[in-house]
Structure 1
């Protein structure tokens, strides 16, 4: 893996070079084995939390981990194009717009003992800005090369906080173009229901059951690119004990191994039934 500046990452994308890189501020990773029409994102996978923020933060490491999306990058890491955050959403949230990306409180609890100095905020917001510069360049290249693209926006959620049965996987589709893309969302939901999990966990999948897909990652791409579908895909944390701070690697591995084929097959259907049928592939 290379350590690259944002300028260098964008230049390599422009030249269609395959590469594995970490940004030079260590805020995100990008893996491109080959340029294709589908991208996997894991914006909340990160757990890093800048040391200068520690003493001022009123949330414990466990509090932060509980609200992050651990292992979501691992679930899709075998795919050819993967972008993933390394920093905790408690420093800045990549799934929020810049003006709300730095929390003042989080899940009903004040986050900072004293308000953050402006220079500390700007340090975080510059990383948020750089991430989206790369996202923009990447989707631009994908649409330029294939005419359209599909993005699997991977998240997780704490199912035990709900007081009703909730699906193992939820798709948020409120902010996609459902006139054009609802069939692909439903097909992805149906595909996810076929995942076989250890410990007799029944895989259920719903659409807009727990979350509606209101994240900035989805909205940014959808607002800037007409032919890119983003599927906000939330696994409930059946792959860990969210109260005891324990990951179940056998469950994570089962998801990862099955998504290798299922995700690619779904993306291929998108390519055949949307890109090719609509004549979007550039000459």
Structure 2
């Protein structure tokens, strides 16, 4: 994996080069093994939290981990195009618009001991902007090459905080063109429901049950690229213990193995859809 500037990454995408890179500041990674008609994104996979923020932060490392989406990049790492955040959403949230990307409080708890200095805010927002410059160049390239593009927007959520039974998989479709793509969202949800998990973990799939797909990553791409469908795909954190931070690698591997088969099937269906 190489370390490139944002300008170098965008240049390589425009020239249709295959590469794997981290940005110069290590804020996100991108891998392109081939220019396939789809992209896998994991915007909340990151856990890094820059040192200049440590002393001012009221949340513990576990508090941050609990709200992040660990292993979501790993679940799609075998696909040809992967882009994933390396920084924690507590530094800046890639799934929020720039004006709300830096938290004042998080999940009901104040985040900073004292207000962030302007220089720290600007530092974080520059990283956010850099990510979306690359996303724009990437989706633009794929859509121009194939006429349309499919983006798998991978997330996870804490199922134990709900006081009712919630699905293993949730697909958020409130902000896609449902008249045009609703049937494809339903077929993706159905495919997710076929995934078999180890340790007798139940696998269910629903649409707009726990989340509706209101994230900025989906909205940004949908608003800028009329022929690109973003499937906001959430897995409940059945692949770890939310309360202790222990990961279950056999569950993560099982999901990755089955998505390796299911994602290409969904891409084929999307490409053949008129």
Relative to the length of structure 2, the TM-score reads: 0.99
The match for 1:166 is: 166
Partner of 2:79: 79
Matches within 5 A, 1:147-158: 147-158=147-158
CA distance in 2 between counterparts of 1:79 and 1:65 reads: 25
Q: Please report how far the alpha carbon of residue 151 of structure 1 lies from its aligned counterpart in structure 2 after TM superposition.
A: 0.2
Q: Deviations over 1:27-69 (max 9, x none)?
A: 0000000001110000000000000100000000000000000
Which residue number corresponds to residue 21 of structure 2?
21
1:258 deviates by 0.6
Pairing 1:92–2:88 present? no
Q: Does 1:226 align with 2:223?
A: no
3-state SS of the aligned residue for 1:240? coil
Q: Secondary structure at the match of 2:201?
A: coil
How many pairs are equivalent?
274
Aligned partners of 1:10 and 1:129: how far apart in 2?
Answer: 13
Deviations 1:214-267 (A, max 9, x none): 000000000101000000000000000000110000000000011001111111
| TM-score after normalising by structure 1 | 0.96
**Within 5 Å, which residues of 2 pair with 1:127-206?**
127-206=127-206
Report the Cα offset of residue 210 of structure 1. Answer: 0.2
| Cα separation, 2, equivalents of 1:158 and 1:137 | 32
Matched, 1:33 2:37: no
After superposition, the CA RMSD in angstroms is 0.5
Q: 2:210: which partner in 1?
A: 210
Q: Aligned-pair distance for 1:268?
A: 1.1
* Cα distance in structure 2, aligned partners of 1:143 and 1:168: 31
Give me the whole-angstrom Cα distance separating, in 2, the residues matched to 1:262 and 1:207. 17
Which residue does the alignment assign to 2:102? 102
Per-residue deviation, residues 184-236 of structure 1 (Å, max 9, x unmatched) = 10000000011110011121000000000000000000010100000000000
Stretches (4+) displaced over 4 A: none
Q: Which runs of 5+ in 2 are unaligned?
A: none
The runs of 5 or more residues in structure 1 that have no matched partner are 278-283
* Deviation for aligned residue 1:272: 1.3
